[in-house]
Amino acid sequence: TAEADETEDATPCTRQQVKRRGKTLSKSGHILDTMVRKLDESVHKDDSGIDLFMSYVARRIHSMDQRTAVITRKLINDVLFEAEMGNLNCSSRVISTPQETVSLPIPSNTSVYSCNSNNSSNSNDSEMSQYFAHFQP
């Protein structure tokens, strides 16, 4: 019949398209597999163990309640900041102290003074002036 001829005519075209698409997909799939494999190799190539430590820290923080996790991230960021500033050594410690919030009135006759231990213009950051508030009774 005419309908059967139309179906048979449509089928080979469809099959060819599927085959072409299959070849295209297998080529693109192969390319994607290669890319994923290369990315995995580069990620797992870290010999220093940093990735393992980051994963460990992330799992530990993830297991904490939200408040504790926020505080933990803050402390880690503080330590990283101090390290970048060159302020860490083998004796460095994180010290937790309970903090109390106390509101005190500030006297109106507050003055700010600068104390410079080195008057040379070539002083570095550690020799910079220290500022403190002086309250007159």
| Residue range 103-132, pLDDT digits in tens | 666 655 555 444 444 444 444 443 333 333
Report how far residue 71's alpha carbon sits from residue 78's, in angstroms, rounded to the nearest whole number: 10
pLDDT band of residue 25 (cuts 50, 70, 90) is low
Tokens of 16: 């060819």
pLDDT band of residue 95 (cuts 50, 70, 90) is confident
The domain spans of the chain are: 1-45
pLDDT tens column, 28-86:
777 778 888 877 776 656 566 787 888 899 999 999 999 999 999 999 999 999 999 99
Among the listed residues 114, 118, 136, the one whose alpha carbon sits nearest the alpha carbon of residue 127: 118
